[in-house]
Amino acid sequence: MGSLYLSRGRCILRQVFSGLPMMLQRPYSLGNDTSLLGVSAQLLRTQAFIEGRWVSAASTFPVLDPATGEEIVKVSDCGTKEAQDAVNAAYKAFHPWKSHTAKERSILLRKWFDLINQHKEDLAKLITAESGKPMKESVGEMTYSASFLEWFSEEARRVYGDIVAPPAKDRKILLLKQPVGVASIITPWNFPSAMITRKVGAALAVGCTVVVKPAEDTPLSALALAELSVQAGIPPGVFNVVPCSREKTPAVGELLCTDPLVAKISFTGSTATGKILLRHAAGTVKRVSMELGGHAPFIVFDSADVDKAVAGAMASKFRNSGQTCVCSNRFLVQSGIHDAFMEKLAKAMDAELKVGHGSEPTTTQGPLINTRAAEKVENQIADAVSLGAVIVRGGKRLEGSFMQPTLLSSVNTDMLCMREETFGPLIPVVKFNTEQEALAIANASPVGLAGYFYSRDISQIWRVAEQMEVGMVGVNEGLISTTEASFGGIKQSGLGREGSKYGIDEYLEIKYMCLGGLSL
């Protein structure tokens, strides 16, 4: 497609389409071993996956390339019937699956992990095609995605209960941990593989079964995982996938959150949608995990290493073109270091960022997921400029859903970009004077997922880390997500934790057993 690149601080769009990849110029052919995406035809699935079978729905919906707006393929558009069938299949499979030993479940998850690694490149191509993510990042996501299955395959054998000292001599007290049951897994488009394995790995490890509803923009990654689950030997009904269009999502989502056979809901997405699902779940008092919106502050204190802060800002902001829930959104830079930081950050943006199609090897910034997302960023920039912000780099909407990576100075807290999550390549910078001022701005948000700050003052590091109202803090580090650490927020950023040794607890119930009448 046309080459999109940054030059001398300006992003220039070349209207040259002769290089458009052939996969985006003609429809798919699934008759050969390899599809036009260069992906194994086995992995390019377009039907729902229910009880170990590929199931067609009455209608289909298109999956689009965010870079071009062109159709990639049509996928089965599941409704409440298919969702109900999937719930029934998961419930039927739950009792035999939980009866497997922890070691048996561990072995199957490990096989699934191995298969994902074997097909990493193909799976990454699917992510790039349906989400627009640069290929290098898609490969990185697949490594991250696989790591959750590896981690939870190991944690499956470490689900321990307790033996508690009793108050009387004629009894023993045991606390048992047991799987909650069927889990509805509702996932976003920005990490279409990793957000599934982070939830499903924990659920399957302890003996739960799942119904996955992937985002309508990115169902192909979920269906490819389903194919590999079959190859790994995961029994029918344990892992089910019901893709659906935006139009059918409300009805399908409601069923998955209200059906009495469902015991658990795990959702990653916006705070507004999370509140709707919580209301649905309340009717049957289901267990819920919610990883919701963020609005991460990124604070640079006078004591910071400016070069490291700039590198951290680039990594934290521009990964996936700013479309991650832990992306830095509100940049607060202390007055003594502000000008040096801005100059170096602008130069780094010029040197390191290249906008283009995700399949192009030199691309670092792909498209936003759709034109609505680009319009949101565009509106935030226009609002900021109208209130006095200065565009230092970028600032313009490009073709389709592409946005110029943008740096703004002279930003204040009244601007829209400081009050709502961006989900795009925009850095608004506020200058502050004192630590207390920075913390007040950082904490003045109803959400609290992640936060970042740079400082070389050890006392300040302890003070700020403890006072930041977020679930995750990056100190002198812009990339903090890892399988081994807990992931989740406070305030309206959600409930519960994923990953780490704590993620598995979200799918377990504790049962108290009193064994009495003993002669001891």
Q: Which residues are known catalytic residues?
A: 291, 325
Q: Report, in this order, helix, strand and coil percent for the chain, each rounded to 5.
A: 40, 25, 40
Query: Which amino acid is located at 217 in the chain?
Result: D
Phi then psi dihedrals of residue 427, to 5 deg: -115, 105
Maximum pairwise Cα distance, the chain:
86
Are 107 and 89 in contact, with CB atoms under 8 Å apart?
no
Half-sphere exposure of 48 (CA within 13 A, CB side): 33
> Two tokens at 267?
């959702």
Query: Which amino acid is located at 451 in the chain?
Result: G
CA dist 325 and 328 (Å) reads: 9
Are 271 and 293 in contact, with CB atoms under 8 Å apart?
yes
> Two tokens at 458?
């050890």
DSSP 398-441: -STT-B--EEEES--TTSHHHHS---SSEEEEEEE--HHHHHHH
Q: Residue 140: exposed, middle, or buried by beta-carbon count in 10 A (0-12, 13-18, 19+)?
A: middle
288, β-bridge pairs = 265
Please name the residues in contact with 136: beta carbons below 8 A apart, sequence gap of 6 or more: 361, 364
Query: Which amino acid is located at 458 in the chain?
Result: I
Query: Which amino acid is located at 159 in the chain?
Result: V
CA dist 421 and 427 (Å) reads: 12
